[in-house]
Amino acid sequence: MSIRARLIFSFIVFFILSTTISIGVFWMLSEIEKKIEFLEVANRYMVEIQQARRFEKNYLLYGTNLEDVSEHLDVAENMLSDHKVTIEKILGNDHFKTMNNYLSKYQSQINLLEKGSSEKLNTRILRESGSRMITFAEEFVNKEREDVSRLLNITKKTPIVFTVCLILFMAFLFSVLMNQLFFTLKEFMIYTKRVGDGDFSPIQFKKSTKNEFFKLAQAFNHMVKELNHRYEILVESQKLRAIGTLVAGVAHELNNPLNNSMLTASILKEDYEDLDDPDKKEMIDDLIHETERSQRIVRDLLDFARENKITMKPLEINTIIKDSLRLVANQIKIGKVRLQLNIENALPMIHGDEQMLKQVFVNIILNAVDALPEKGIINVSSMKNMHQGFLGIKIKDNGPGIPDHLKNRIFEPFFTTKQKGRGVGLGLSVTMGIIKKHSGFIEFSSSGGHGTEFNIFLPVTEIPSKKMMSQEDLD
């Protein structure tokens, strides 16, 4: 259910609850109004019975006001007759008949007195029926008062109960919606941070979840896909620049084996008839050796330049380091700097993309070559146990270093300290992205005049990290 649907459903429930309570309160107030009106009738009935009894006692004592007794009895009888249905509903049919019976008995005794038949008067019946009429009238009044009091109590409690239910309902709604909102927003914050760390894998949402966040996830995945595409373009552009730098060194390196091959071939051609077979074979071996040397140089460059999809596989870090150094060997010679290699043997395997990791080492070493003066030193070493679960690769130079005020910017895209025309500032930015994509991290230290040191840490894994495995985009 989408958030919009949940809100609509909640408002419908709230509307139904409010309407029900309002109708209920209106009904109870109407009933109280009727009860109060009928309570007045009951009080009047009791007053009429009490007046009849008072005048009855006056007559028996003083012989006066007998006609007033009949008058009040007639009013009471008319009231019972007019409100028969309501009284029967309140007191019950049997109770009403009993009231009527006592009223009739009392009326018959009063009629005897009016006719002058005092000898036929039964004072016991008169007193008993009169007393019972008073008792029933009081019960009638008390019953009505109890009903009015009960309805008033219910009416007073209803707003309190409604308020409590409303608070509980709002708390439940707030808890459900806020948990969903905050939890999902927290997830999106994690995804955003993950993208910032170089992991462009898409968000995985259930296909059955078709709420607003699913649409946001689709838009987010589309954005991540475009970012990943542009990141790959950025990586390739930096790679092409590195290739351009390497080509200059390769041309210089190829010149020697090509010259040797041409010289040997020329001598072999000119002196072919005068040479014996062992000399010819030796010259041919020299040609093969120099050709293989040229082939290896070109192959290394082509392997580095080849555009491949990211392929995560088990790798030996020392092999990657040696291949990377072979690629930049000519730049090191041209720059007239020295290279020191210190690698530990029997290091555990890592999982990663071979070409991307080579690009990392090439970028950092070429930066060091550009920064170092003649006879500068670059130290490359590999080690384990610097951080638990990671292999460490240290690349250190004794160059001029980086000023303190620029340290926080060296991994920014397009930031460079090189002279104009010697770099566009993408090397370290791309390097950081590649290392994060491999679930690793870089530690950097430098001080003016005391060189620069990069420590690259890559996780030791038997199985590729889930972050590095391909995932399908959402539909």
* Tens-digit pLDDT profile for residues 54-66: 888 887 777 777 7
Q: What pTM was estimated for this model as a whole? A: 0.45
pLDDT of residue 7: 74
pLDDT of residue 475: 36
Note whether 391 and 407 are within 8 A (CB). no
Just give the CATH number of 3-181: 1.20.120
The beta-carbon contacts of 121-129 under 8 Å, at least 24 apart in sequence, are 126/56, 129/102, 129/103, 129/105
Residues in contact with 462: Cβ distance below 8 Å, sequence separation at least 6, in sequence order: 349
Dihedrals phi, psi of 445, to nearest 5 degrees: -145, 145
Distance CA 142, CA 83 (A): 17
Domains 3-181 and 221-468 share a fold: no
In the chain, what percentage of residues exceed pLDDT 70? 78
Q: Which residue has the higher pLDDT, 182 or 339?
A: 339
Q: How far is CA 368 from CA 150, 255, 374, 471, in A?
A: 92, 25, 12, 37
Q: Which residue has the higher pLDDT, 293 or 140?
A: 140
pLDDT of residue 421: 42
Lowest-confidence segment of 87-96, 245-254, 388-397 by average pLDDT? 245-254
Topology annotation, domain 221-468: Heat Shock Protein 90 (3.30.565)
pLDDT of residue 471: 37
Where do the structural domains in the chain lie, given as residue ranges? 3-181, 221-468
Confidence of residue 46 (pLDDT cuts 50, 70, 90): confident
Mean pLDDT of 28-50: 82
Confidence of residue 296 (pLDDT cuts 50, 70, 90): low
Mean pLDDT of 139-158: 82
pLDDT of residue 472: 37
| Average confidence score pLDDT of the chain | 76
Distance CA 360, CA 242 (A): 11
pLDDT of residue 470: 40
Q: What share of the chain is helix, strand, coil (3-state, %, to 5)?
A: 70, 10, 20
Q: What is the token pair recorded at 118?
A: 């005092």
Q: What is the token pair recorded at 56?
A: 């009855």
Distance CA 361, CA 321 (A): 7
pLDDT of residue 379: 92
SS3 331: helix
Q: Which residue has the higher pLDDT, 396 or 87?
A: 396
Instruction: Express each pLDDT in 313-331 by its tens digit.
Output: 889 999 999 988 887 887 7
